[in-house]
Structure 1
Amino acid sequence: MQHKLANILRLGSKELWSLWRDPMMLLLILYTFSASIYIAGTSMPETLHKAPIAVVDEDQSMLSGRIVAALYPPYFKPPVLISLAEVDAALDAGIYSFVLNIPPDFEQDLLAGRARSIQLSVDATRISQAFSGSGYIEQIVSSEINEFRQRHRLNTSLPVDLVLRASYNPNLTSSWFGSLMELINAVTMISIILTGAALIREREHGTIEHLLVMPVTPAEIMLAKILSMGLVVLLATGFSLTLMIELVLQVPVAGSVPLFLLVTALQLFATTSMGIFMATVARSMPQFGLLLILVLLPLQLLSGGMTPRESMPALIQHLMLAAPNTHFVAAAQAILYRGAGLDVVWPQLLALLLIGAVLFRFSLRRFRQSLSSL
């Protein structure tokens, strides 16, 4: 046993030196766990934010002025007053997401009790802004019209008082979600790339044949790659969580960082094994890259990180229980967002361990077959 551990340690050191001499791979790791996290945390959220809007004010009344003044940042950019003849050209050019047309004599007809309509033109190609922004504008216009008709701001108390409390993210800050989810996705992506690239690099450089004539077993070779690449990703995860997320982005981490790193280590056990398996299927790095796209996108999109699993079809929910990302996302969100402990996330840890063991077994069998064909 001691001899096997020594072989794994020496082979793992070789893998780390090979990675150190690969500047492009080092640059990818550095970017993914630093700049990519920062961009995901500070980029424009999917909700309404600084949407460009124009207003055709044909009424030029006090009410129309109140409606225009209510379209304020940060939801909208300062409204631009344009003429009716400019609307079609502006929408065709994609200058504005919304154009609100207030017809002439709108205030006068409203006070006289005559029904009038306000036209809202929406650029539906900007789907996220179009969906949420049209609802925002409808609420703003209705609120201003009701207040104007009442000649005062309503202050009536309802028999039921609805109190909104946002748990775990009181200010609904998008960077708290975006940065942590980017870190979770980065763990999966980089671990698969590193282990797969390490094996393909051995095959392309011809050093895999040198290993076969040495007194080492395929299991030792595979474990060395898994442990060394997993260690690199685990250290990069701890660095990114401490420096980029907590220090730079000022995102509070509610739970235990060591517990999250334990969950990450189990996830790495599964994904690095997956990377080895994919590298035995692909014959070159371009093939590996194409295969990675087919595997990585479903893992990230269907794991529950972007869309709640409850909103997915039942078949997808059941199938994705076999994917490590589903359990990793659930455990990571519970720990980092809600401060959950081991008593809450132990089912996810057990699932990750079982999935990792199965993937390791399949990958080892495939790895032995690929070595025997050389």
Structure 2
Amino acid sequence: PESRPPVLIGAGDVNAAMDSARFTFVLDIPPDFEADVLAGRSPAAQLLIDATAMMQAGIGAGQIVGILDDEIGRFARREAAAAPAPVGLQVRYAFNQALDTKWFMGIMATINNITMLAVLLAGAALIREREHGTLEHLLVMPVRPAEIMTAKVVANGTVILALTAFALLGIVRGVLGVPLAGSMTLFLAGTALYLFFATALGIFLGTIARSMPQLGLLFILIVLPMTMLSGANTPLESEPKWLQWVMQFVPSTHFVAFAQAILCRGAGLEVVWPRFAATVVIGAVFFALSLRRFRRHLAAMR
């Protein structure tokens, strides 16, 4: 009851399963393990761990080692003479071998700030334009609502992409010394896809809020829970099943998943393309809904 039921996989499938984040822990039990335990030869079992989420890796490793020690100790005492430490368990940490907190927190802070800046900058731009009367000036120009909204999405997205590249290369890797395992180009491409959703969400909230304080309150009620439940702070697997299912329809969940896969585990497009596709599809649907709301908002101002 302390963990999910174990899944049996072949030795040749271990690397692909861990690279794709299918498993966090893989226990490698060698051939003739039972016979070696009974003979008192102290065989070694290997525990492979995905240390992308460092806290989960540390807690899980301790639990698994404790479970194995108890079970193997009971087995050895029942079937053969008691012997001290009948099995030596070798632990191998992958993707964060030093268990350095900076490796996880530096990347996750950048990912969370991308969502925060995209929503707040796009929403604030719309509210400020309405407060200063510049939005009415746009209404008398020969531009359509889709062009106005797309311009805001592209402008804010470009600024955030540039800041993201600077933060990862200059601060996370340059100052903090965190290695970025995967392709920055691939990550920035995925971030650009995600920003269509995040900036559209900001504009959607900007059409609802009448002032910056109201936008801040809506941000707390909507964006903060969305970020906390996306897997950036705690593993998605620790949430109830129904909530895991709901979060699959939120692009931030897929954004966090492919960002961790690329930056922490060095995944390529062949691994993260399903996450990219989900981000595009869900983001496009919400962009269309936000555009519809934006059109109504402009029509009410005429």
TM-score, normalised with respect to structure 2 = 0.72
Match of 1:297 in 2: 224
Deviations 1:260-295 (A, max 9, x none): 101111111110011110100111111111001111
- 3-state SS, counterpart of residue 166 of structure 1: strand
Question: 1:282 pairs with 197, 209, 213, which one?
Answer: 209
Question: 1:213 pairs with 121, 124, 140, which one?
Answer: 140
1:360 and 2:287 aligned: yes
The residue identity in structure 2 corresponding to 1:359 is F
Match of 1:249 in 2: 176
The residue identity in structure 1 corresponding to 2:240 is P
Question: 2:125 pairs with 179, 183, 198, which one?
Answer: 198
Post-superposition shift, 1:159? 3.0
C-alpha separation between the residues in 1 aligned to 2:269 and 2:84?
A: 45
Match of 1:170 in 2: 97
The residue identity in structure 1 corresponding to 2:164 is T
Post-superposition shift, 1:181? 0.2
C-alpha separation between the residues in 2 aligned to 1:209 and 1:306?
A: 41
The residue identity in structure 1 corresponding to 2:230 is S
1:264 and 2:191 aligned: yes
Match of 1:318 in 2: 245
Question: 1:222 pairs with 149, 157, 167, which one?
Answer: 149
Matched residue pairs, number?
A: 223
1:239 and 2:139 aligned: no
C-alpha separation between the residues in 1 aligned to 2:225 and 2:117?
A: 16
The residue identity in structure 2 corresponding to 1:176 is W
TM-score, normalised with respect to structure 1 = 0.58
- 3-state SS, counterpart of residue 373 of structure 1: helix
C-alpha separation between the residues in 2 aligned to 1:300 and 1:367?
A: 24
Question: 1:332 pairs with 243, 259, 282, which one?
Answer: 259
Which of 1 and 2 has higher RCO (CA within 8 Å, sep 6+)?
A: 2
Deviations 1:127-175 (A, max 9, x none): x9xxx9xx9xxxxxxxxxxxxxxxxxxxx97331100111100110001
1:348 and 2:275 aligned: yes
- 3-state SS, counterpart of residue 274 of structure 1: helix
Please list every run of 5 or more consecutive structure 1 residues that lacks an aligned counterpart in the other structure.
Answer: 1-127, 136-155
Match of 1:121 in 2: none
- 3-state SS, counterpart of residue 165 of structure 1: strand
Match of 1:112 in 2: none
The residue identity in structure 2 corresponding to 1:329 is V
Post-superposition shift, 1:311? 1.2
Match of 1:306 in 2: 233
Match of 2:112 in 1: 185
Deviations 1:86-123 (A, max 9, x none): xxxxxxxxxxxxxxxxxxxxxxxxxxxxxxxxxxxxxx
Post-superposition shift, 1:305? 1.3
Post-superposition shift, 1:356? 1.1
C-alpha separation between the residues in 1 aligned to 2:165 and 2:226?
A: 22
4+ runs deviating over 4 angstroms? none
C-alpha separation between the residues in 2 aligned to 1:197 and 1:165?
A: 47
